[in-house]
Structures are given as C-alpha cells and as structure tokens.
Amino acid sequence: MPQMSPIGWLSLFILFSFTFMLFCMMNYYSFMPIKPQFMLDNKKTITHSMNWKW
C-alpha cells in the first residue's frame, strides 16, 4: 500500500472541508421559513410571559 505525502493529506482535507462547508451553506440558505397563518390573520403581537411561577 503506497504512502501519501503530507501535501496529499492537506489537499484532501481542504477538498473535503470545502465540500462540507458548501453543503452546509446550501442547506442553510435553501430553507425558507413559513410564517404561521394565524399570525397573518390576527395582526396582533402575541406575547408570552417568561416569568417563573414558584
């Protein structure tokens, strides 16, 4: 089995890192969040209290 030189490992690491980053960015920017329909109909801001009830 032939050995790989360090520059070969470096280029392979850069290639896989670039591919991984490209895949993550494509997944992140292709997601389009949809707004719930009830928020569009009411036009009111619904606030929930975050106070602890001890």
The whole-number pLDDT of residue 39 equals: 54
User: Rounded to an integer, what distance in angstroms lies between the CA atom of residue 33 and that of residue 35?
Assistant: 7
Determine how many CB atoms are found less than 10 A away from the CB of residue 40: 8
Q: Which residue in this structure is represented by tokens 């895949």?
A: 23
Determine how many CB atoms are found less than 10 A away from the CB of residue 13: 10
Condensed to tens digits (0 to 9), the pLDDT of residues 36-51 reads 666 555 555 566 667 7
The whole-number pLDDT of residue 22 equals: 97
Condensed to tens digits (0 to 9), the pLDDT of residues 4-32 reads 888 899 999 999 999 999 999 999 988 77
Q: Which of the two residues, 26 and 34, has the higher pLDDT score?
A: 26
The whole-number pLDDT of residue 20 equals: 97
Give the helix ranges, DSSP H, for 1-54.
6-30, 37-42
